[in-house]
Amino acid sequence: MTDTWSTNTTLESIAAWLRMQRRTVVLTHSKPDGDAIGSTMAIVRTLNLIHKSALDAPAAEAWYFGPMPPFAEKVLGDVPHRNFAYRSHPGGEPDAIVIADTGSWTQLEQVKEWLAPRASRAALIDHHRHGDPDSASRRVVEPTAAAACQIVAELCRLILQLPSVTKLPRAIAEACYMGMGTDTGWFRHSNVTPAVFRTAAELLEAGVDSAELYRIVEQSDREARVRLLARALSGLELFDGGRFALMGITRADFAEFHAEQGDAGGFADHAQNIESVRVVAMFTESEPDERGRPVTKVSLRSKDGAGGVDVNQVARRFDGGGHIRAAGARIPAPIGEAKRLVLAALREAPGS
């Protein structure tokens, strides 16, 4: 691969290009989180707004793969979208494709067969440190952004040709604010910068009800999710003087509480409340792969300050990735073996 993972165009150019397209599909990574859903929602709503009088059918729709978080349907509302199973992919020939909040083939596995031949008509908006440049011919990659939604807010402004983010329609502003809120721990994490607060303030001026959005996303859990969290916390293990915290949930746990894969998001954050803990690894037993082999998903979270670990580099050892303080991977191994492998990698990581 001769290209590099970096920006090769401008938001202005992507905005102008999208304004000319008749039908657009918007993609994101499998098992989407708040930033993935928020960024795709905002783009779809924006494109349908400018084309609403030109087409009877929606000009844009979002495609999602894998389990959705519990709040997804509450926030998606009337956004045209389709959900696909793990091992299926859609057909169709859109004029344009937008990929938000990822550029990694490992996170686009379910749609890779369909997307790869169409990468020349794809634009990508991402804030991760690593990705596959051949996933889209047009790319804006800003690793300093706290969330894809921070970039998407400006993209939507440009598409709508507005003078300021404060003029975004409320529904679009709410989608962007949700993504920024969830990817910053509601503005608590180390990725919060003055630019984050400036964009958040502009979105609030656009009419976002921050308290109501927080209630919908963070305070509307199903009982099954809370019981699943209790099971994960009850099995928490500490290693190396309490520096590393490991948690895990199995498919049997999901079945016992009638929980879904999407119910397990964000569990790693709770173990970070322990003072000694510098890194949390949350392991989730996933469905076996197409050959029936076990698969375990790991989510890694690292604290700032002394003893912190670049978990993006740890995740990349298992063909995953993400950010310095938040990353993940899918490991082709049973949950017990995955724990052993990741603990060894954490102990070998610089700073450990």
Q: How big is the chain by its Cα radius of gyration, in Å?
A: 20
Render pLDDT for 25-69 as a digit per residue (tens, 0 to 9): 999 999 899 999 999 999 999 999 998 644 456 799 999 998 888
For CATH 3.90.1640.10, list the domain ranges present in the chain: 11-217
- Token reading at 94: 């859109």
Residues with pLDDT less than 70, the chain: 1-3, 52-57, 85-91, 307, 351-352
Record the pTM.
0.81
- What is the structure's pLDDT at 85? 64
- Angle formed by the axes of helices 210-218 and 170-183, nearest 10°: 60
Instruction: Classify domain 11-217 by CATH architecture.
Output: Alpha-Beta Complex (3.90)
d(CA 153, CA 148): 9
Instruction: Classify domain 223-348 by CATH architecture.
Output: Roll (3.10)
Would the CA dihedral through 204, 325, 36, 6 be positive or negative? positive
Render pLDDT for 143-200 as a digit per residue (tens, 0 to 9): 999 999 999 999 999 999 999 999 999 999 999 999 999 999 999 888 999 999 999 9
The order of strands in the sheet holding 24-27 is: 81-84, 60-65, 24-27, 96-100, 122-126, 138-141
For CATH 3.10.310.30, list the domain ranges present in the chain: 223-348
DSSP assignments along 111-173, one per residue: GHHHHGGGGGGEEEEE--S---GGG-SEEEE-TTSS-HHHHHHHHHHHHHT-S-GGGS-HHHH
- What is the structure's pLDDT at 1? 36
d(CA 260, CA 143): 31
Place of tokens 């630019």: 195
Check: CB of residue 119 under 8 Å from CB of residue 149.
Answer: no
d(CA 106, CA 131): 9
